[in-house]
Homo-oligomer: A and B are copies of this chain.
Amino acid sequence: MSEIAPPEEEPRHGDLPPEEDGQFADDQTLSPEFVRSVEDAIDAEDVEAYHGLTREIHPADVADLIGLLREEERDALIAMLGGAIPSEVLAELDEDLREDVIEAMEPAKVAEAVMELDTDDAAFVLEDLDEEKQAEILALAPIEDRLALRAALDFEEDSAGRLMQREFFASPAFWTVGQIIDRLRGTEDLPDKFYEVFVVDPAFKPMGSVPLSTLLKSKRETVIQDIMSSRDMRTVPATMDQEEVAYLFEQYNLISAPVVDDADRLIGMVTVDDVVETVREETQEDMLALAGVEADTGLSDTVFETVRSRFSWLAVNLGTAILASLVIAMFDAAIGQIVALAVLMPIVASMGGNAGTQTLTVVVRSLATKDLTATNAARIVFREALVGFLNGLIFAVIMGALAGVWFFASGWGTEAAAINLALVVGVAMIINLLAAGLAGILIPIGLQRAGADPAVSSAVFVTTVTDIVGFFVFLGLAAAVLLPAAG
């Protein structure tokens, strides 16, 4: 038998992480050893070795790799690659990193890379740059691309207009499946990937959509209007916020959606792969916002950027902590006489803070997923108040008993005083957990109705309420009930 050369094939690295190559660790992330080999190649300015190492991994993994490099190494890599990062890698970089990488690239190279991308990815790469840099790069692009990109950038950040790509496939209602397939085979200017044919009326208004799988299952002579569905299509206005777009995709299990202008004319398409990222980012932003971390920060920020981004929330928290301290200071005479109050007061405040955060987190999520709406708000407010009250009751009994025994056993007061202290702790616990439940739901709902993002500012209000109510009720009751007894 003569030797037959194996057919030319794309490198295989599709399936499981190719453990034999050691590029990936068990958790599917790049292995430290692999990253170190790449760093060595960069240090040695060995382009060949770098390409040899990275040729077989996906652009998304190359983007992760760049995120793992130190700043000097990143700059050295860009220089070594002739001032450019491949466009497909650029589109996959994390937001906090992309800006730094593009700053380090030559404008001409950025322009070149951007032109190779679909409009949504291109706008995504350009949007974080300052206007000067943007203009510089756009000036280097061919007129047609420049106009398309300017149009994309004219839409607000986080709008459907930014998220969409201008490449899509639309058909008039009277075309047959055969005509459409013939046209698809002949047309050059199609999106890289698409999942549905949008059926439009003569005014280019979307009437319905046909999944490609339905198209493929239908006979050539079938008229597209007969297989289109309008129920499974959701038309997205270009001005819609991406959070709303993500809601539509999740609620109606969409794969792609037509984007329309003010006159309801089809101008673009949003696909689910962009939305998956939005879903994660929006939930994550809520999560970070509740903890007082700015949304667009990441591990690639410098120490100085991180200190600054965390500072503002800590400063606000300092303000509320001082407020709470002023409440404590009102009762310094009582504390001076019964030091046990200083020992017990953080417990009441802390329980309130935790209960409030529980409610707040559930409510912020329910508002985002639209499970909590005008229809059921009153019922859920009542429910949260009741839950707060009931947990307050349980912990009032537990903590009241503990405090009474502790107070009595340590010899701080008489049996009657211990019972009074137990009652004070119990009542304060009930009131604070009720306040926590109410604050945890009323504050985010109120902020949302006022047009603010409930995730961003609720937490500080809720803990202020629970701290102040906790300290005030506990110390106030203690001063009223115990001081005559102790004094």
Contact = CB atoms under 8 A, between A and B. Distances in A.
Contacts of A22: none
Interface stretch (A76-84, A122-130, A139-147, A243-251): A243-251
Interface in A180-237: 181, 184-185, 190-191, 193-195, 206, 208, 211-219, 229-235, 237
A244 B346 CA distance: 41
A478 to B, nearest CB: 13
B213 A190 contact: yes
A351 to B, nearest CB: 6
A212 B195 contact: yes
A390 interface: yes
Contact of A286 (B276, B287, B343): B287
B351 A314 contact: yes
A234 B343 contact: no
Nearest to A379: B70
Interface in A102-127: none
A47 interface: no
Contact of A361 (B11, B293, B351): B293
A55 to B, nearest CB: 11
A383 interface: yes
A318 B346 contact: no
Contact of A351 (B70, B231, B318, B373): B318
A347 B233 CA distance: 54
A273 B292 contact: no
Interface in A1-49: 9-16, 25, 27-32, 35
19 contacts: A16-B237, A25-B374, A29-B374, A30-B373, A31-B375, A64-B370, A70-B379, A190-B213, A212-B212, A215-B216, A272-B272, A280-B283, A283-B283, A298-B366, A298-B371, A306-B387, A317-B354, A325-B344, A336-B336
